[in-house]
Amino acid sequence: MIRKRSSAAAHPAGSEAKRRAPKDPPRTGRRTKADAKAPHRSAQRPAPALPGRGAPAPGSERARVAAIRRTLRRLYPQVRTALAFASPYQLLVATVLSAQCTDERVNRVTPGFFARFPDAATLARGPRADIEEIIRPTGFFRMKAKSLQETAAGLAERHQGRVPADLDALVALPGIGRKTANVILGNAFGIPGITVDTHVRRVSLRLALTREDHPEKIEIDLMRQVPRREWSDFSLRLIEHGRRICVARKPRCPACALLPHCPAGAALTGNGAVRR
């Protein structure tokens, strides 16, 4: 039984002209004017809280992170995917197609796609031109078609056409990076994972949950501070917050419920101390 859960569909940026077929699509982690106004992260941000047991001490970094988690749970109690899928294979395809495309548009394309290419074996040997034609509305269609077909060939050759429920096996497939793998594990298999996309990266840095720029290092920082059972939902909540409030260019700090716990927000609004 496949669960429909929240969407961490890849939302990378990039240039079709570059024709990149990355393991995960490129990220858009540029430093914005808003970020430039905040103090430099190394001066402003404490090291990520270490994991611990029991209630965090008042005023500690663990208490601040706990308040952030609590606030995000309250703001976004139900995080559900908007991508329609009925199997891990379908989620894999939908996630790849969702790069630089809305979930709604992907959902309009995938029924026709799955009718034509119902499994990895069919997709692997399908005519590239047919794949491109069907997925054209999702953008970057040549890159996506190539990536999908290479992944499907890997599934057919190594896993009898089935999507493995294992991070190492997934990232060993052509065209699948940690971000896409964590989306699949979390949503199709219920295996917790932190998905680091451009929103998670930006919001984590502003909230001083990490000092790192590299997605894998950010992932490790978040995994250290957030209980495993919350990994998938926590990253999805950061994505929601990044889309709605903590937007790239002009974060809506005065309207943000995380402002009392956010060093970047304090700096941007001149709001003084950060509450822990």
**Identified catalytic residue from 35, 197, 221, 233:** 197
274 binds ligand SF4 (CB under 6 A): no
Whether residue 197 lies in the annotated active site: yes
Whether residue 179 lies in the annotated active site: yes
Contact letters for ligand SF4, residues 210-249 (x by CB under 6 A): -----------------------------------xx---
193 binds ligand SF4 (CB under 6 A): no
Nearer to ligand SF4, 183 or 203 (CB): 203
Give the end-to-end CA distance of the chain in Å, rounded to a whole number.
41
Residue 262 CB, nearest approach to ligand SF4 (Å): 3
206 binds ligand SF4 (CB under 6 A): yes
Distance of CA 50 to the CA centre of its chain: 23
Nearer to ligand SF4, 191 or 245 (CB): 245
CA–CA separation, 171 and 149 (whole Å):
15
Alpha helices in 117-230 (DSSP H): 120-124, 128-135, 141-158, 167-171, 178-188, 198-206, 215-225
- Interface residue with ligand SF4 among 90, 264, 274, 276 (CB under 6 A) is 264
* 275 contact partners, CB below 8 Å, separation of at least 6: 64, 67, 260, 261
Residue 151 CB, nearest approach to ligand SF4 (Å): 34
Number of residues that bind ligand SF4 (CB under 6 A): 14
Which residues are at the interface with ligand SF4 (CB under 6 A)? 203, 206-207, 245-246, 251-253, 256, 258-259, 262, 264-265
